[in-house]
């Protein structure tokens, strides 16, 4: 059977956004191919200006003019926020589609010690590296996007052994896995997407941390607001972050605990900051890569006191 490959060539900043847009149309997931990298070269840190081909595959019978139009419209709408070229369509033979993209994906470093390595590649790791073995085929948080990079750097800086971590919208599980590598416990990784949960569980198994991380399909609404978490990681979109804060996300954090919010475009940051103030969460750090902002918040150690009612 022949397949149609739908591809979009983008830089590192747009790669995961395009993957999210293409995923609903995909058969067997989304692939990310890192272009222009020669095997054997040590690429110490992902460059956002590097180019990536984001691809999905459609069975020949599903490649209809109507579906192509829907894909083109979805990419066009995303392109109103960030320059993205239109998708290209190419017919390929079945034997070429499944694994060819893997030759383009290589290891890269984030922060001081984190090494992200394809699961099939032998890692060239240092003794103190935090090694994350990931299969990027489903594109649920590969480390390519600035928001994922900033969250991984936050995990590296904030997580200490025995710290409890909540990962909301876990995707590939990359943030929870990094926390487990740093001996956090307990760790709960939640996502509403069934395919994401499958990918996260597989990646936890690859990294030998499946017993350290509880991966579960679900949402904040299903959790008791008991303030037990030392750190909550939320790498999703700004409107969803606003809703989570309204639904009591801050109440999940113990007094003095931290909250890392990512997936925020620069112009959306004031809304998130306003919501943090409304919910008595102090801003302790702001990190930005290009147009993407990550905010670190902290719940007060002492909860604000309600003034006593007047006796007059």
pLDDT digits (tens, 9 = 90+) for 178-216: 999 999 999 999 998 887 888 899 999 999 999 999 999
Chain mean pLDDT for the chain: 85
Of 44-53, 127-136, 162-171, the poorest mean pLDDT is in: 44-53
Digit-coded pLDDT (tens) for 59-116:
888 999 999 999 999 999 988 888 899 999 998 876 565 555 565 567 889 999 999 9
At 42 the pLDDT is 39
118 or 253, higher pLDDT:
253
Element of type H or E holding 139: none
User: Domains in the chain, ordered, with CATH?
Assistant: 2-104 (3.30.70.120), 137-298 (3.40.50.150)
Whole-angstrom distance, CA of residue 140 vs CA of residue 111: 20
- Predicted confidence at residue 100, as pLDDT, reads 55
Closest of 154, 142, 111, 189 to residue 260, by C-alpha: 154
For range 9-18, the mean pLDDT: 83
For residue 58, the model assigns a pLDDT of 87
Per DSSP, the three-state class of 278 is helix
Q: Which residues have a Cβ under 8 Å from the Cβ of 291 and sit 6 or more positions away?
A: 13, 82, 265, 266
Number of H helices, E strands in the chain: 8, 14
Query: d(Cα 108, Cα 113) in Å, to the nearest integer?
Result: 11
The stretch 25-35 carries a mean pLDDT of: 72
Q: Inform me whether the pLDDT recorded for 304 exceeds 60.
A: no
Q: 84-93, 128-137, 159-168, 270-279: which range is least confident on average?
A: 128-137
What pLDDT score was predicted for residue 249? 94
**Tokens linked to 295:** 């905010």
Residue among 71, 47, 45 nearest 58 (CA): 71
Task: Note if the pTM is more than 0.85.
Answer: no
């Amino acid at each position: 059977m022949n397949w149609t490959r739908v591809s979009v060539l983008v830089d590192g900043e747009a790669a995961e956004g395009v993957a999210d847009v293409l995923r609903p149309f995909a058969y067997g997931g989304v692939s990310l191919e890192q272009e222009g990298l020669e095997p054997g070269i040590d690429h110490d840190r992902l460059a956002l200006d590097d180019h990536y081909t984001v691809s999905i595959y459609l069975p020949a019978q599903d490649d209809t003019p109507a579906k192509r139009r829907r894909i083109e419209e979805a990419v066009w709408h995303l392109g109103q926020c960030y320059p993205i070229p239109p998708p290209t369509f190419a017919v390929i033979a079945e034997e070429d589609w499944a694994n060819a993209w893997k030759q383009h994906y290589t290891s890269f470093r984030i922060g001081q010690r984190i090494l992200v390595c394809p699961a099939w590649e032998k890692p060239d790791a240092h003794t103190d590296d935090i090694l994350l073995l990931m299969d990027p085929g489903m594109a649920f948080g590969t480390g390519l996007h600035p928001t994922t990079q900033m969250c991984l750097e936050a995990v590296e800086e904030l997580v200490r052994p025995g710290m409890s971590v909540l990962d909301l919208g876990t995707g590939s599980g990359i943030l929870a896995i990094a926390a487990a590598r740093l001996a956090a416990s307990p760790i709960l990784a939640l996502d509403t997407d069934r395919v994401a949960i499958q990918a996260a569980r597989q990646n936890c198994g690859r990294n030998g941390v499946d017993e350290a991380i509880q991966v579960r399909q679900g949402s904040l609404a299903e959790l008791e607001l008991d303030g037990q978490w030392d750190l909550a990681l939320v790498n999703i979109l700004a409107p969803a972050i606003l809703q989570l804060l309204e639904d009591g996300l801050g109440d999940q954090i113990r007094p003095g605990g931290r909250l890392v919010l990512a997936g925020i475009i620069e112009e959306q940051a004031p809304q998130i900051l306003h919501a943090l103030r409304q919910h008595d969460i102090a801003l302790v750090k702001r990190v930005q890569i290009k147009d993407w902002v990550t905010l670190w918040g902290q719940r007060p150690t002492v909860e604000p006191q309600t003034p006593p009612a007047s006796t007059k």
